[in-house]
Amino acid sequence: MLLKLINPKKTIEIGVFTGYSLLLTALAIPDDGKILAIDVDRKTYEIGLPFIKKAGVELKIDYIESQALPVLDKLLEDQKNEGSFEFAFVDADKVNYLNYHERLMKLVKVGGVVIYDNALWGGTVTWPEEEVPEDMRESRLSFLEFNKSIAVDPRIDSSLAAFGDGITICRRIC
Ligand SMILES: C[S@@+](CC[C@H](N)C(=O)[O-])C[C@H]1O[C@@H](n2cnc3c(N)ncnc32)[C@H](O)[C@@H]1O
């Protein structure tokens, strides 16, 4: 619904896996919309690709198998890309969310929207450190830092929607 309201033609997805959220985005954006989809592992994308093809939205997707940061940095080398995206969805390595945010604040236009997945990190952002499973601690700390930083970022309006695992919705305002 949010995507239908924004109606973005130029979008980025960071973290594709088998392409579930990618397919949802591809179905929601207009016929001439495009998604630059970045993931380090193309094998998982290929599991979902037959469904994307069956849905008839493959041509909307420009898939890049890579670490996401260098792709974003490369885009920023060309000034034409600044402010050219209307929507981004981030669902990759949590330790880099702030790094993605800094780049997306340049790539996404004023008025554009960025959504970050898993902002509640299984609820652990509210737990005492000692109760958090070892394998969730590093990303939890990243989310604590990320959530604090987003809350005071003057470039955006933001809202942490507490459904699912939490999504942080940011609208660039300057
Ligand atoms: C939670 S999954 C994405 C799920 C997908 N967005 C969905 O909802 O269907 C996270 C993905 O991020 C990818 N990933 C992790 N670190 C990455 C990085 N540094 N750059 C690009 N992709 C990365 C992983 O390979 C994995 O496929």
Ligand 1 contact, 127 CB (< 6 A): no
List all residues 6 or more positions away from 142 whose beta carbon is below 8 Å from its beta carbon.
Answer: 94, 95, 97, 98
Strand, helix or coil for residue 21? helix
Single out the residue of 56, 8, 53 nearest to residue 28, CA to CA: 8
* ipTM computed for the complex: 0.99
How many Å separate Cα 126 from the centre of its chain? 23
The residue segments making up the domain with residue 65 are 2-172
CATH number of the domain where residue 103 is located: 3.40.50.150
Of all protein residues, whose CA lies closest to atom 11 belonging to ligand 1?
15
List all residues 6 or more positions away from 143 whose beta carbon is below 8 Å from its beta carbon.
Answer: 94, 97, 118, 119, 120, 121, 125
Mean of pLDDT values over 48-72 = 98
pLDDT for 115-143, tens place per residue?
999 999 999 999 999 999 999 999 999 99
What average pLDDT does the structure give for the chain? 97
The backbone torsions φ and ψ at residue 5, rounded to the nearest 5 degrees and listed phi first, read -70, -40
Distance 118 CA to ligand 1 centre (A): 12
User: In which band, very low, low, confident or very high, does the pLDDT at 97 lie, cut at 50, 70 and 90?
Assistant: very high
What is the distance between the alpha carbons of residues 88 and 86, in angstroms, rounded to a whole number? 7
pLDDT for 145-158, tens place per residue?
999 999 999 999 99
Ligand 1 contact, 65 CB (< 6 A): no
Distance 68 CA to ligand 1 centre (A): 9
Q: At what angle do helices 68-77 and 97-107 cross, to 10 degrees?
A: 20
pLDDT for 17-28, tens place per residue?
999 999 999 999
Mean of pLDDT values over 75-90 = 98
For the four alpha carbons of 126, 129, 130 and 133, in that order, the dihedral sign comes to positive
Q: What percent of the chain has pLDDT over 70?
A: 100
Ligand 1 contact, 58 CB (< 6 A): no
How many Å separate Cα 21 from the centre of its chain? 10
Of all protein residues, whose CA lies closest to atom 27 belonging to ligand 1?
17
Strand, helix or coil for residue 132? coil
Ligand 1 pocket mutation pick from 17, 21, 61 by most atoms within 8 angstroms of CB: 17
Furthest-apart CA atoms within the chain: distance in Å: 49
In angstroms, the Cα distances linking 33 to 85, 157, 170 are 11, 25, 21
Mean of pLDDT values over 6-18 = 98
> In this structure, are residues 107 and 84 in contact, taking their beta carbons and an 8 Å threshold?
yes
Count of domains observed in the chain:
1
Ligand 1 contact, 68 CB (< 6 A): yes
